[in-house]
Amino acid sequence: MSVLTHKLVRDLWRLRGQALAIALVVASGVTTFVIAHSTMRSLSLTQREFYRDSRFADAFASLTRAPRALEMQMAQIDGVDIVETRASGSALIDLAGFDEPVAAQILSLPNPHGGLNRLYLRAGRLPESDREVAVNEAFAEAHQLRPGDRFDLTLRGVQRRVTVTGIALSAEFVYLIRPGDIFPDYKRYGVLWMARKPLEAAEGLDGAFNDVLLRLQPGADVPAVINALDRLLAPYGSAGAIDRSDQLSHRYLSDEIHQWEVQATVLPGIFLGVAAFLLNVVMMRLLKQERSQVAVLKAFGYSASEIAMHYLMLAGVIVLLGSVFGVGVGGWLGAGMSRVYQEFFRYPYLHYVLDLDVAVSGVLVSALAALLGAALAVLRAARLPPAQGMRPEAPPRYRITVFETSRIRRWLSPGARMVVRNLLRQPIKASLTVLGIAFSAAILVVGGLMKDSIDVLLDVQFRQAMRADLTLSFDDVKHERVRHLLAAMPGVHRVEVTRAVPVRLRSGHRSERSAIQGFEPDARLYRLLDSDGNPVPIPRDGLLLTAILAQKLGVAAGDTVEVEVLTGERQIRYVPVVGVTHELIGSGGYMDRSALNRLLNEGDVVTGAFLGVEHSQLPALFTQIKRTPHIVGLMNREVAIRSFTETMAGNILIFAAVMLVLASTIAVGVVYNSMRVTFSERARELASLRVLGYTRTETGVVLLGEIVTLTLIAIPLGWAIGWLLCSLMVAELASDLYRIPLVLAPQTYAYAALVILVTTLLSSLLMTRSIKRLDLVSALKVPQ
Amino acid sequence: MPVSEPYPPLPEAPSAEVLLSARGLSKIYDGDVPVQALRGVDLDLRAGEFVVLLGASGSGKSTLLNILGGLETASSGVVRYRDHDLTHADDRALTRYRRDHVGFVFQFYNLIASLTARENVEVVTEIAERPLSPDDALRAVGLDHRLDHFPAQLSGGEQQRVAIARAIAKQPDLLLCDEPTGALDSKTGILVLEALERVNRDLKTLTVVITHNAVIADIADRVLHLSDGRIVGEHRNPTRRAPRDLQW
């Protein structure tokens, strides 16, 4: 080992506390980098593989009924490679031992020869008869169903007992969520597959189909294909074809992958920036202390580059240790994260991949940060002419700061003046310290966003907007009279019927697929809300749009939109927009039901209902509903809230804990390093104060005054940065599926401040040991 | 600047109160090789005296001064300040002792770089019970024209005089000076010694100066010679010489 290597090892040991703090910040940065990149890759790699293996379709269309002869015509559309038709329907499941009715989507099996959306069979075999079904895996797990188990199934009002023959997964339902829900509920929503013939029979589709899947040729003009398909299927009640990007499961999955792309840059960026700053501060200090040593080395003939290399190695070792540790932790947490993901994204397999290039780039990026941080200090030292280096450095120049008007000055104690002048002598360093601590507070604020906003989301959606205990949907349009039937059911004290219709809305060149719901004029069980959360009455005429839809269409109250009804005769109407609403989940248009019926040239018909129910009567009501034909969908508000809260509680806790660890690492790193550097710069002054008769506490106040001042400035700044990051995230994540409200509870701000203060306190306690050990005699005996 | 006249030494059998007394004082620094810095020192220091402790480097003079000033504790023996036992005092009591009774001046001035001359003195006057005003303390060392200068704007001698002003501002009972002229040229050193002498004379502060510069001994009432951790000699000057008459 060369003598410089010896020095390197000993320097590292001497600086171990600070080196550790910096290494941990680097480790946090690399950990977030590795988690984000590896999760993003794992998700998209598995997605690609699963889509390929299961021949996931590129375009989708649903219709009322069309003859299979149409398949040939679809295949002739330019750009279409494979056409697959199928039967699809809604079903209600009655499981023994589970009171509530369970809704399900039922599909015919894909064509065994070259079909699309092929199933991955986890267990058992594919169903063959009209008494056999395969069920999706998440649903099977939720009810512990195995091949051979039986349950009652209601299809088109006919109940039959079916046997589960297989447990399956499909690329179409990687993320399985009932439209309109905010969270998967595997217990109450499932997907079933039945052989084609029996399902056609059950759905009254003999020789016909009501669902289309297309595989497109590479390079196909997707919008053109969709248009051609829509023209072809329009007479058959198609609600409009969509390409893969609008497919529900695919959209959730893509959103999730996109979120990780954002995470992969923002968090590691913050951490590595802080690490670079800390290295800069520590190296500056070290090189100041070793100024004469550097000069002596140079006088003995060491070259500037040898010396620069020596100090860069010091920074390099710290960063290398931190980043290798970070790769390890990141890989470990990433693998754990992928297990959590399997709960939500139901792939048959999830390949967690920590690629070498991700690990290497994590290390390289942090090495770059280290270089940036250390380079300035090292270059300055390496350039210093030896003769100048061996002379003591010129004493620091201070001045009376602009803040100290004679009045303020009188009020400031000498200790306070020391603090103010020291801070203002190095304003950049002070600002960066403030920024570092502020980011730590900001991360804590971001960590609180999920909990705060989800509380509000739940409250807005399930207490302010949705007030129906049960929401029912019917398999087809029904006469309004159905309300009397519903009102007569056990425990039902209020019925509000609704009419929903799929539409395409247009304004100028913009167009959006959506749905219009018709509500009763005095609707109380579902209330539309304005931006302040106040109820918006249903207008007698005209259309209300959710804000996000209005924004996408570029319309506001007073404009008129073109409404293409995507069922029946595909009528086109022009309807004035009379206002916007601000629910947080879903998007669409709302009208008075009678007005909607008139618009559609139809009688007094409905497609669903909101029920207000006596809770004690629920079991009896469920029994009745299970026996009622034509009810195909059911959502129970209380259950939705409960399952949502239960699932989210754990995740929020984990998220908040991770954020706490990350934020604390930064806070400790910045605060502790600042204190150490301040202490080493001021050891002599602190010793002077002790000699003059200042107690340890009084001396400590002078030492800690700087960092405490910076911390107090940093906390509100951190709140502001946190709020800004949250609003960016919220904007980034807003979609027509759901909008996370930008809500931060006062407790979240308080918590962020508290963590920072506690960190400062703990670091201070570490420093008081140093004050205690301060050797008064030797500190004062060396020349200044 | 007032002229400092030689004036008569204290009487042989002084009536002045004994402020500090040490008996059998020893100090051993533990370490790989234990070093015995003091070997049984007996000493009485009286109010108003000007004492010079003379000794070569390593003779134990700084250790003795540090123990007398409450910066260190002895390994054995007894030190008393009036009727307080400093030998067994804890950190809190020693801090109190330094705060209320002791002024220090060091070879390297140890001023606080971020505070002006006046503010450096205020550091002490803020916590002292009956302090001089900072301006008066600085006037006493002839620096009343440099009140608002930062240490970096002052010469070495000026900085040391600020240090003296800071030490005397609390009106200490004893002023302990460790090589106060060690970092200064002789001309500047004399200015500093004049300041010390004036304080001793005007405020009647017991002043102890340690130095290896034998010339300085001439301005003292009493001179103690230290060697190898022991007091090996003591003499009284028949007359105290004025600092400006010194040469080295």
- At B2, the pLDDT band (50, 70, 90 cuts) reads very low
The answer to whether residues A109 and A119 touch, using CB atoms and an 8 Å cutoff, is yes
Averaged pLDDT for residues A506-519 = 91
Q: Residue B88 domain-assigned?
A: no
Q: What is the predicted pLDDT for the residue at A672?
A: 86
Kindly determine whether residue B127 and residue A694, on different chains, have CB atoms separated by under 8 Å: yes
**pLDDT tens, A409-436?**
777 788 888 888 888 888 888 888 898 8
3-state secondary structure of B182: coil
- Cβ pairs bridging A and B (under 8 Å): 92
Q: Do B92 and A781 touch (CB under 8 A)?
A: no
Q: Which residues of A265-292 are buried (b: 16+ CB within 10 A; e: fewer)?
A: ebbbebbbbbbbbbbbbbbbbbbeebbe
- Chain A, window 681-710: residues with a beta carbon less than 8 angstroms from a chain B beta carbon: 684-685, 687-696, 698
Q: Please give the pLDDT value at position B1.
A: 38
Does A67 score more than 70 pLDDT? yes
Tens of pLDDT, residues A69-93: 999 999 999 999 999 999 999 888 9
- Residue-wise pLDDT for B10-66, tens only, equals 444 456 789 999 999 999 988 888 889 999 999 999 999 999 999 988 899 989 999
Cβ contacts (< 8 Å) between A425 and chain B: which residues? Answer: 114
- Residue A424's closest chain B neighbor by CA? B114
Q: Is the Cβ pair A698, B127 closer than 8 Å?
A: yes
Tell me the C-alpha distance between A626 and A350, whole Å.
37
Is residue A652 within a helix (H) or strand (E), and if so which, with residue range?
A: helix A637-691
pLDDT score recorded for residue A264: 78
Least CB–CB distance from B95: residue in A397, A685, A693: A693
Strands A560-565 and A492-507: antiparallel
Q: Provide the pLDDT for residue B8.
A: 46
Strand partners, A479: A605
**Of B114, B147, B153, B177, which to mutate for an interface test with A (greatest number of A Cβ within 10 Å)?**
B114
Interatomic CA distance for residues A308 and A722, integer angstroms: 38
Taking CB atoms and an 8 Å limit, are A417 and B115 in contact across chains?
yes
User: Does some domain include residue B32?
Assistant: no
Complex prediction ipTM: 0.81
Least Cα separation, residue A413 to chain B (angstroms): 8
Nearest to B152 among A395, A689, A777 (CB): A395
| Reported confidence tier of residue B7, pLDDT bands at 50, 70, 90 | very low
pLDDT-based confidence at residue A180 (cuts at 50, 70, 90): low
How do residues A224-234 score in pLDDT, each as one tens digit?
999 999 889 98
The count of domains in chain B is: 1
Tell me whether strands B206-211 and B50-55 are parallel, antiparallel or unpaired: parallel
pLDDT score, position A59: 95
Q: How far is A695 from chain B (nearest CA, A)?
A: 6
Closest-CA residue in chain B for A692?
B99
Q: Is residue B202 part of a domain?
A: yes
pLDDT higher than 80, residue A335: yes
Contact B98 A400 (CB under 8 A): no
* Contact indicator for A479, A616 with CB cutoff of 8 Å: no
Q: Which domain holds residue B212?
A: 49-71+100-242
> Cβ of B127 and A421 within 8 Å?
no
- Per DSSP, the residues of B59-108 read SSHHHHHHHHTTSS--SEEEEEETTEE-TT--HHHHHHHHHHHEEEE-SS
The enclosing domain of B189 has a CATH number of 3.40.50.300
Residue B80 lies in a domain: no
Lowest mean pLDDT among A154-163, A245-254, A294-303, A423-432: A294-303
**CB < 8 Å to A777, chain B:** 62, 66, 71-72
Which pLDDT belongs to residue A587?
Answer: 84
For residue range A449-494, list pLDDT tens digits in order: 888 888 888 888 888 888 999 998 887 889 999 999 999 999 999 9
Q: Is the residue at B59 inside a domain?
A: yes
Q: Which residue of A has its CA nearest to B112?
A: A685
Tokens of A51: 């889509």
Tell whether B77 is covered by a domain. Answer: no
Continuous segment of H or E residues that includes residue A436 = helix A427-459
Give the residue from chain A lying closest to B148, CA to CA.
Answer: A400
Are B71 and A691 a contacting pair at CB < 8 A? yes
**pLDDT above 80: residue A775:** no
Pairing label, strands A492-507, A132-136: unpaired
In a domain, B39, yes or no: no
A414 in reach of chain B (CB within 8 A)? yes
Instruction: Provide, as residue numbers in chain B, all residues whose Cβ is less than 8 Å from the Cβ of A394.
Output: 152
How far apart are the CA of B52 and the nearest CA of chain A, in angstroms?
A: 19
Contact B124 A780 (CB under 8 A): no
Report pLDDT for B5: 44
Q: Among B99, B109, B183, select the one facing A693 at the smallest CB separation.
A: B99
- Touching check for A777 and chain B: CB below 8 Å? yes
Which residues of B lie inside 8 Å of A (Cβ-Cβ)?
62, 66, 69, 71-72, 91-92, 95-96, 98-100, 102, 104, 106-116, 119-120, 122-124, 126-127, 148, 150-152, 166, 170, 183
Q: What is the pLDDT of residues A557-572, one digit of tens each?
A: 999 999 988 877 778 9
Long-range contact pairs involving A37-40 (C-beta distance under 8 Å, separation at least 24): A37/A260, A37/A264, A37/A358, A37/A361, A37/A362, A38/A330, A38/A331, A38/A334, A38/A352, A38/A353, A38/A354, A38/A355, A38/A358, A39/A260, A39/A334, A39/A337, A39/A338, A39/A341, A40/A257, A40/A260, A40/A261, A40/A264
Q: What is the pLDDT of residues A672-700, one digit of tens each?
A: 888 888 888 888 888 888 888 888 888 88
Yes or no, beta carbons of B124 and A417 under 8 Å apart: no
Residue A353 CB contacts under 8 Å (≥ 6 apart), including other chains = A38, A41, A42, A45
In percent, the amount of chain A with pLDDT more than 90 equals: 35
Mean pLDDT of chain A: 87
Instruction: Indicate whether A733 pLDDT > 80.
Output: no
Distance between A421 CA and the closest CA of chain B, angstroms: 6
